[in-house]
Amino acid sequence: MSDWKPNIVVFACNWCTYQGADLAGILRCDYPSTISIIRVPCTGCVEPEFIVAALKNGADGVFVGGCHPGDCHYQEGNNKAAARFKLLKTVLTEMGFEPDRVRMEWISGSEGKRFAETMTEFNESIERIGPNPIGRYINGG
Amino acid sequence: MADKVKLAYYLSGGCGGCDMAIIDLSENLVDLLPRLDVVFWAPTVADVKYRDLEGLPDKSIDVGLFSGMIRLSEQEHMAAIMRRKCRTLIAYGACAALGGIPGMGNMHSKEEIFQTAYFDTLSTDNPDGVIPQTRCLVDGKYELTLPEFYRYVRPLQDVAEVDYFVGGCPPHHSFVARVIPDILGGSFPAPGSWITSDKAVCALCDRNPAVKGEEMKLIKTIKRTTDGPPEEGKCLLQQGYLCLGAVTQGDCGALCPKVNIPCRGCGGPVPGVKDFGLRAISAVASLLENEELVDRIPSPVKLFYRYSLPASMLGRKIK
Ligand code: SF4
Ligand code: SF4
Ligand code: SF4
């Protein structure tokens, strides 16, 4: 498995984390090419189905990035997302996924450097956890 | 309709409760019988053998009701036969449509299940440590066979094309009384859909705050039914009992909340929902006052996927 590289899906809120990713680019901060960003209007619209679909289709890690508490463009979206995410994470863990395969964090539009650092760190943690076990599952495991 | 409707019924991996829901039609059933020609109903009602069904011409049966999930090779085989012989095949009841209660077995390996069933339960007496084998030779000459116990439970649509789905564990007899005449009269919705009255349990529930013009509030606590009876007339979910009526088809007429029991989703997902458990997670979590309450939800997979784990996106525990 030496040539394995993680495949990471990031759901980034348009009003904060996605801007943070933009800023990371402008500031020329490096972060791993294993990250694929999907821009969403708010973390509140990231349904549990989206995260499970990513995992089911082989994503090794899923990251949800939203606005800091109190800063949601739609007022309550990130709070609802946080409770949903926590419950989903409990369920995914019970279903056999490593808890750290999915992560949610608040990254604002001004935190470009922090976005790059967080992505680097998340990528490393997924490298430590290893490939998504769904591959073994599809082969009847 | 001039001719009688030819009906076949097969009980796969189920408990027989779905059969009972038809028997519960009582007088209605008596009225229906003259219009029916039951060509196959095994093993509960008619004295027929598998080979009798296998011997019938393909597509010679009008309607096939299939109850129960698929766990054994025999059930998979019979699903294929039912599909071949019936023009319309209906996944009848939560087990056939979603995997049902036995689908919770998908959180455990076959080995764990055998260990519990054949060794650990108090009533087991198995000094020789015998577990089911698909073949066994008796007296050196008689070969006996048993169906294979598959590693996972599957809903009917995973092994055969399903024309319609009916939810409920079992489907409520008043609903069956309404849909069976339609089915026999040949009036069906679009292929592949659920036969349902299209209303959520909440929409039919007397406790629903919206019906009383009250606002939905955030939930401050998580309660279990063992924590004492809920307040009369007040929404169970608002009191902290995790009622899943919002995402469940209410063809039962909101039966459980009427008797102080939170809906657990046996009616199947409301239209448009692909994964019942995930949508239930989303609906319940959005109402929690704080994240800490999540830790107080016991065994979430078996709560949110009580009837639908095998039909969910993941389907089973990943090892
Ligand atoms: S759906 Fe319920 S009543 Fe019907 S067979 Fe399954 S467990 Fe029994
Ligand atoms: S959540 Fe349950 S108790 Fe509340 S309105 Fe819906 S079905 Fe009724
Ligand atoms: S209230 Fe829910 S769990 Fe109870 S019978 Fe109706 S659908 Fe099933």
- pLDDT one-digit tens code per residue, A83-99: 999 999 999 999 999 99
Residues A43-65 have pLDDT tens digits of 888 999 999 999 999 999 999 99
Residues in chain A closer than 8 A to B291 (CB atoms): 82-83, 86
CA–centroid distance, B268 to ligand 3, in Å, is 9
Tokens (6 digits) for B101: 């209660």
Sign of CA pseudo-dihedral B235, B270, B102, B302: negative
Q: Taking every pair of C-alpha atoms in chain B, what is the biggest distance, in angstroms?
A: 75
Say how far apart CA B42 and CA B214 lie, in whole Å: 50
The fraction of chain B above a pLDDT of 90, given in percent, is 80
Position A136 confidence tier, pLDDT thresholds 50, 70, 90:
low
Cβ–Cβ below 8 Å for B318 and A48? no
| Predicted pLDDT of residue B234 | 95
Q: What is the mean pLDDT of residues B247-265?
A: 96
The predicted pLDDT at position A140 comes to 47
Query: What's the pLDDT score for residue B24?
Result: 86
Q: Which of A120-124, B26-30, B80-84, B251-255 has the lowest mean pLDDT?
A: B26-30
Chain A residues in contact with B274 by the CB 8 A cut-off are: 49
What's the pLDDT band for A138 if we cut at 50, 70, 90? low
Quote the pLDDT of residue A141. Answer: 44
**Burial group, residue A29, by CB count within 10 angstroms (0-12, 13-18, 19+):** middle
3-state secondary structure of A8: strand
At B23 the pLDDT is 86
| Cβ of B53 below 6 Å from ligand 1 | no
Mean pLDDT of chain B: 93
Over residues A14-40, mean pLDDT = 93
pLDDT value at residue A134: 87
pLDDT for B1 beyond 70: no
Question: Cβ of A107: how many Cβ atoms within 10 Å?
Answer: 27
What is the reported pLDDT for A137? 58
pTM exceeds 0.95, yes or no:
no
ipTM of the complex: 0.91
Smallest CA–CA distance, residue B159 to chain A, in Å, is 16
The pair of three-digit structure tokens given for residue B131, joined into one six-digit string: 């577990």
Distance, CA of A95 to CA of A4 (rounded, Å)? 24
Q: Give the mean model confidence (pLDDT) for residues B51-67.
A: 95
Distance A76 CA to ligand 2 centre (A): 23
> What does the angle CA A131 – CA A134 – CA A136 come to, to the nearest 5 degrees?
85
Q: Over range B295-304, report the average pLDDT.
A: 95
Q: Which two tokens stand for residue B1?
A: 């309709």
Dist. CA A19–CA A41, nearest whole Å: 12
Q: Is A32 exposed, middle or buried (0-12, 13-18, 19+ CB in 10 A)?
A: middle
Residues making up chain A, counted from first to last = 141
